[in-house]
Amino acid sequence: MDGKIRLLDDLAGREKDCAFEDVLKLDPKNPTALASIGQLYYNMKEFDKTKEYQRRRIQISPDNPEPYYWIGVIDWAMCNPSRMKLRKELHLTQPVSEDRPDMLPPLPSAARDRLAAENLTAVQEGIEALEHAIELKPNDDAAMVYLSLLYREKADLEPDPESRELDLETADMWVKRTLNLKKQQSERTKSRDTDP
């Protein structure tokens, strides 16, 4: 049943894609059509096509943080499954200690090297894209979350323990920044709600 539903979703997505492609024939720089097609491909897990449309958006509006954000999200979505699959195969999914539930043991060097060959370029691209998104929109908590996640991906690709630890500290820093930002936003909302 799931296969049929996925097929129907893919067909519906492709029909919408055709409609948005028609818009692009009339207006090749239409940001709504580009964003919508990118989102459709993302939903269908066609990540390379998704990135293609996000890059076209960047060419049109280089100061828009959203396509940079999406490139980071896509890169994480491409890398994380293979990393977690490898960790599961190696039985390395349990934290090193209860004090640090986010700290998984390092990968063996041969496995790490294979994973780095597969993921390093996308991880670096995603980090750069998300950092740029945050430069353009400093309070983008969603970009901060994905940046933290990509630094965790990067930590598993590091050959030396110091670089790995630095990446994990950077990931933690972005989590703390996100939590502080959420707290500030919540306090502002409460303050507005209580003001007469």
Considering the domain 1-62, what is its CATH architecture?
Alpha Horseshoe (1.25)
Q: Residue 95 in contact with residue 86, Cβ under 8 Å?
A: no
For 100, the token pair is: 């640090």
pLDDT in tens, 10-36: 545 455 556 778 878 888 888 888 999
Which of 36-45, 66-75, 79-88 shows the lowest per-residue confidence on average (mean pLDDT)? 36-45
Residue 109: count of CB within 10 angstroms of its CB: 9
Q: Residue 129 in contact with residue 72, Cβ under 8 Å?
A: yes
Q: What percent of the chain has pLDDT over 70?
A: 89
Q: What is the pLDDT of residue 100?
A: 82
Taking the alpha carbons at both ends of the chain, their separation in whole angstroms is 54
Q: What is the pLDDT of residue 195?
A: 61
As a whole number, mean pLDDT of residues 185-192 equals: 78
Q: What is the pLDDT of residue 13?
A: 47
Q: Residue 120 in contact with residue 157, Cβ under 8 Å?
A: yes
Query: Which pTM was predicted?
Result: 0.85
Q: What percent of the chain has pLDDT over 90?
A: 69
* C-alpha–C-alpha distance, residues 131 and 161, integer Å: 24
The ranges assigned to domains in the chain are 1-62, 63-185
For 36, the token pair is: 């919508």
Owner of token pair 């492709």: 14
pLDDT in tens, 144-162: 999 999 999 999 999 999 9
